[in-house]
Amino acid sequence: MKNLKFLSLLLLTTIVFWSCSDDDDGTIVIEEQPQNIVELAQSNPNLSSLVAAVVEANLTVTLSGPGPFTVLAPTDEAFAEFMSDNGWNTVADIPDEALEQTLLNHVISGTVTSSDLINLQSGYTSTLASGPANTNISLKFDATNGVMFNNASEVTIPDVMASNGIVHVVDQVITLPTVVDHAVNNSNFSSLVAALGAADGDLVTVLSGEGPFTVLAPDDAAFTTFLDGADLADVDTGVLSQILLNHVISGTITSTDLNTLVEGYSNTNASGPNMTNLSIYFNTSNGVMFNGSSTVTTADIVGTNGIIHAVDSVIDLPTIATFATSNPALSNLVAALQYADTGMPTVPYINTVSDADAGPFTVFAPTDAAFGDLLTELNANALTDLPTATVDAVLTYHIVAANVQSSQLTSGTVNTLGGNITADATNFTLVDANNRTSNIITTLVDIQATNGVVHAIDKVILPPQ
């Protein structure tokens, strides 16, 4: 009944004498003058706090403009609760920036009806509130049982049409969400939220901080697969903390950024040898994939302190083998390691680079092009044309028994597992015993794993010939 009275009042207030025309029969024509969103709010006494807030935030002109806008309009009761929770008596007490951004968090560009939301069932849209790095704050909607926003604010009166958009009256002010809030508001992230609470280091507080962060958020199905029948409580809290931090990148990286770059490496907040940060590899040739195993299912969920990309598998702590197998440009290196392992004696390579507790090592990793040049240099058609002992000896000259990042590289003799080579830290080159020069590819250095670091090079290092 309350809703019907409101709609009736709205209808009456929108009917005015738009014009009086002298029709053929002399009848006065009464036309309907549509109200804009601000005028609609002004005509409803239950939205007086919203009107006051819009005036205080200098948004009257904006919301009276052409739009179209979809406005989620909190009632006076909702505003009273919001202000009480924050110790404010009137909207004038709310800090200017907080007031403006909170109001813009209730405004969606375009016209979104309740039918649109019900047809979609659930998902995300963007508000006009500003997020980090020129992004807009995301808003979660769920229309499976009524229409709810951010799992808290419910539509009580939908689809009030205005000349410049549409208004849905809601029963709570929708506060600006952090990345943690977004995780809490999405039931598909319940395992992630539980893991954040269980891990060492109070990660909930960390990820509620200033940031900005890019969070790769495994869904519940991903955690179920990762735990493989075990309980979250069975996972060592320190290990759990590092695994979770391996899903957090400092800074804001959008899906557009990733697709523009196509592929490359970044660093997570997880710790590797000597307190280095672990690397993470991304490739967008077939969707957006991290470390060759975890694919983005929902991108660009923006909070005030960062952005979330939902992923379909937990990204385990990477080994050297992870990076060698995930980057297609290193496929020949993997093949060489596998081939060397078929002979005797061998390191053994695959088991060693796959062992998180091995090393740490520094691996100078020849690219596929480098291996192609080697075959030409040796007049061979394939690696398998070479004796396994030869391949084994070659590979040992690419491995150093220490975790040496590029900033730690010094000019002079480098002791590899096979023998000595010479480094030039100024020119970023390695010279083997045959006076052959390998260039360290400066865009592909410091690929940090739990058991060592990888630097890509453009020429295979050879033992003395």
Q: Which one is predicted more confidently, 237 or 31? A: 237
| The pLDDT value given to residue 345 | 78
**pLDDT tens digits along 250-282:** 999 999 999 999 999 999 999 999 999 999 999
Would the pLDDT of 15 be above 90? no
All domains of the chain, ordered by start, with CATH?
Answer: 2-176 (2.30.180.10), 180-318 (2.30.180.10), 329-457 (2.30.180.10)
| The pLDDT value given to residue 8 | 40
Would the pLDDT of 403 be above 80? yes
Q: Above pLDDT 90, what percent of the chain?
A: 90
Least confident range of 30-39, 63-72, 167-176, 389-398: 30-39
Q: Which residues contact 227 (CB under 8 A, 6 or more apart)?
A: 234, 235
User: What is this structure's pTM?
Assistant: 0.89
**pLDDT tens digits along 166-204:** 999 999 999 999 999 999 999 999 999 999 999 988 899
| The pLDDT value given to residue 393 | 94
Would the pLDDT of 462 be above 90? yes
Would the pLDDT of 7 be above 60? no
Q: Taking the CA atoms of 386, 390, 396 and 397 in sequence, report the sign of the dihedral they define.
A: negative
Tell me what the mean pLDDT of segment 38-57 comes to: 97
**pLDDT tens digits along 294-340:** 999 999 999 999 999 999 999 999 999 999 999 999 999 999 999 99
| The pLDDT value given to residue 34 | 76
Q: How many Å from the N-terminal Cα to the C-terminal Cα in the chain?
A: 93
Would the pLDDT of 416 be above 90? yes
Q: Which two tokens stand for residue 59?
A: 């948004």
Residue 371: pLDDT band (50, 70, 90) is very high
Residue 346: pLDDT band (50, 70, 90) is confident
Q: Above pLDDT 70, what percent of the chain?
A: 93
- CA angle 188/194/196 to nearest 5° reads 110
Would the pLDDT of 11 be above 80? no
Would the pLDDT of 13 be above 80? no
Tell me what the mean pLDDT of segment 26-45 comes to: 77
**Per-chain mean pLDDT for the chain:** 92
Would the pLDDT of 12 be above 80? no
